[in-house]
Structure 1
Amino acid sequence: MSKYITIKDIANELGISKSTVSRALSGDSSNVKAETMQLITETARRMGYHRNEMAVSLRKQSSHNIGIIIPEIVTTFYMTFISHAQALLRKQGYNVLIATSDENYVQERENMEMMEHCMVDGLLISVCNKEHNADIFRRIVSRGIPVVLFDRTVEDVDASQVRHDDYIMSFFMVEQLIRSGSRNIVHIPGPSHIRNGYERLRGYRDALEKFHISFNPDLVLASALSAEEGCQVMSDFMDKGIKFDTVFGFTETSLIGAKNLIQKRGLRIPEDVRVCCMSGTALCTLVHPTITAVEQPVEQMAEEACRLLMEHIADSGKKAEDVVLRGDIKERESTAVTKDSATIK
């Protein structure tokens, strides 16, 4: 017997034609007697038959599957997005296929090709690299597969996007730090191949300029995403003996790595060094001291991304939209102004 039970297997079991089995399993009661339909249905269930959804998709030109591709699963941000998006899509009658790229553009490309082969009706993608895979993004869009980019996006692809206003929230965070006393602010940036990284660095620099604080390239460290990378770049920086009073991270994972290193070196947070980051999640509340962070409206992002995807599926001629959402600064213990901190009056 074959690995998967087929209509042919059921027909051979019962000694009837494949066409009769096919009509019965599709519910064609007008051409199949009731007792025959019941016998076929019971036999199919007993033998473990499952309908070939791929074949059905080919006939109907719709799989009722939506693909979601994310760059990592370390933080709760993407898991929250997936959970909320999946609930919304299921209400619309769609199943969800999920793939993670693990911050690897080759794996990201393979994920997109896999989703193509599965003939998904649409894609929600947060990219791990805005440079290497632009060609396949364009190819998928040109084939008429609706794509909505979220969080990490690509600028030169004709697809709808839902993103966080990284520039303005980075600017606001650094502005708030300066107003409360920070002067020598270290920035742990994201990689240059992530659009968010550029926008957050730009906000950092413009906030310094607003307060006439000279930009010091020595205070912008090597890029980091993981806690291990954050720890390493912070260690390399502190070994140089450069004066600093604050650390502003691209994301919470790299910032937590840097924070741990700072504390191991004997410095107190926030008395000696203040720390904060963008892209904060519940992780920021599970460490000591708790970390001040810009939190993105992840559920709203999922809602907007699903709305746009459904609209593109319903109307292939719909023009791409760029939806920009505003986050919130959550002030916590890591940036508290203490009696040891100098404050600008």
Structure 2
Amino acid sequence: MSKYITIKDIANELGISKSTVSRALSGDSSNVKAETMKLITDTARRMGYHRNEMAVSLRKQSSHNIGIIIPEIVTSFYMTFISHVQTILHKHGYNVLIATSNESYIQERDNIEMMEHCMVDGLLISVCDKERNIDQYRRIESVGIPVVFFDRTVEGVEASQVRLDDYIMSFFMVEQLIRSGCKQIVHIPGPSRIRNGYERLRGYRDALEKFHIAYNPDLVLPPALSAEEGGQVVAEFIDKNIPFDAVFGFTETALIGAKNLMQKRGLRIPDDVRVCCMAGTTLCTLVHPTITAVEQPVEQMAEEACRLLMHNIANSGKHVEDVVLRGEIVERESTVKPTS
């Protein structure tokens, strides 16, 4: 017997035609007698038959599946986003397929092709590289699969996107550090391949300029995403004996690694150095001291991404929006010096 039970297997078991079995399993009670319908459905259940959803999708030209491609699963941001998306799409009859690129544009390309083979009705993508897969994004849209980019977005693709105002929020975060007395602010940037990294670095530089603080390239460290990378770049920086009084991180994971390293080196936070980051999640509340961060409106981002995607699925159109959301600076222990 084959691995999967088919309509032909059920027909052979009962000695009736495949068309009758097919009509019965699709609920066509007008063309199948009630007793025959019951016999067929009972036999299908006993034999372990499951409807071939891929075949149904081919007939209906819709799989009711939405693909989500994310760059990593270390932080809780993406899992929270996916949870909200699943809740929203489930109400509209959609299932969700999830793939992780692990910060590899090659893996992301494979994920896109896999989602296409699974006949998804649309894609939500947070990219790992702002340029490498532009051709794939354009191709997938050209074959009729709508795409909405979220969080990490791209330019030069005619598709909707939902993102944080990274420039403004990083500007405000650094401005807050400066107003609290910090003047030698270290920045742990994101990789240049990520659009957010450029915008957050630009916000950092412009905040310094506003307060007439000279930009010092020695205070901008090599890019870091993971906690291990964050600790490594800060360790190398400290060894240079360059004075600093604050650290502003591209993301919380790198900053937490940096924070842990600084504490091991005997630096007190926030007494000796204040630390904060962009894209904070609950991780920022699970360490000591808790970390000041710009937090993204994850639920709103999920709602907007789903709205845009479902609109283009329903209308088979090319409606394009650039939705820019405002984050919130949540001040915690890492930047607030205790009063004596």
TM-score range, shorter chain: over 0.9
With normalisation by structure 2, the TM-score equals: 0.98
Tell me the residue number matched to 1:58: 58
Residue-pair matches, total: 340
Matched with 2:9 is 9
Deviation track 1:158-180 (CA, whole Å, cap 9, x = no partner) reads 10000000000000000110011
Per-residue Cα deviation, 1:20-77 (whole angstroms, up to 9, x for no partner): 1111111112221111111000000111101111011011100000111111111110
The residue type equivalent to 1:144 in the other structure is G
Q: How do 1:1-345 residues align onto structure 2 when only pairs under 5 Å count? A: 1-337=1-337
Distance 1:305 1:66 in 2: 12
Whether the 8 Å CA contact 1:180–1:337 is kept in 2: the answer is no
Where 1:135 maps in the other structure, the secondary structure is helix
**Tell me, what secondary structure is at the counterpart of 2:279?**
coil
- CA deviations on 1:262-316 (whole Å, 9 max, x unpaired) are 0000110000011000000000011000000000000000000001111111112
Query: Alpha-carbon deviation of 1:233?
Result: 0.5
**1-structure distance, mates of 2:8, 2:302:** 43
Task: Structure 2 unaligned segments of length 5 or more: list them.
Answer: none
Q: Tell me the distance in 2 between the aligned counterparts of 1:134 and 1:228.
A: 30
- 2-side partners of 1:7 and 1:272: how far apart? 72
Task: Compute the displacement of 1:339 (Å).
Answer: 6.7
Give CA-to-partner distance per residue, 1:226-247, whole Å, 9 cap, x none.
0000001111111111111100
Q: Give me the whole-angstrom Cα distance separating, in 1, the residues matched to 2:339 and 2:285.
A: 24
RMSD: 1.0
Question: Partner of 2:270: helix, strand, or coil?
Answer: coil
Q: Is the deviation greater in 28-37 or in 299-308? A: 28-37
Counterpart secondary structure, 1:278: strand
Once the two structures are TM-superposed, the CA of residue 337 in structure 1 deviates from its matched residue by 3.4
Q: Kindly, what percent of the aligned residue pairs are identical?
A: 83
Question: Contact between 1:311 and 1:318, CA under 8 Å: does it hold in 2?
Answer: no
Q: Can you list the C-alpha shifts for 1:67-106, whole angstroms capped at 9, x where unaligned?
A: 1111111111011100001000000010111111111111
CA contact under 8 A between 2:159 and 2:318: conserved in structure 1? no
4+ runs deviating over 6 angstroms: none
TM-score normalised by length of structure 1: 0.97
- Structure 2 counterpart of 1:26, one-letter code: S
- Cα distance in 2 for residues equivalent to 1:62 and 1:291: 45
Q: Is the 8 A contact 2:200 2:250 kept in 1?
A: yes
* Matched-pair contact (CA < 8 Å) for 2:291–2:333: yes
| SS in structure 1 at match of 2:257 | helix
SS at match of 2:244: coil
Uncovered stretches (5+) of structure 1, i.e. residues with no partner: 341-345
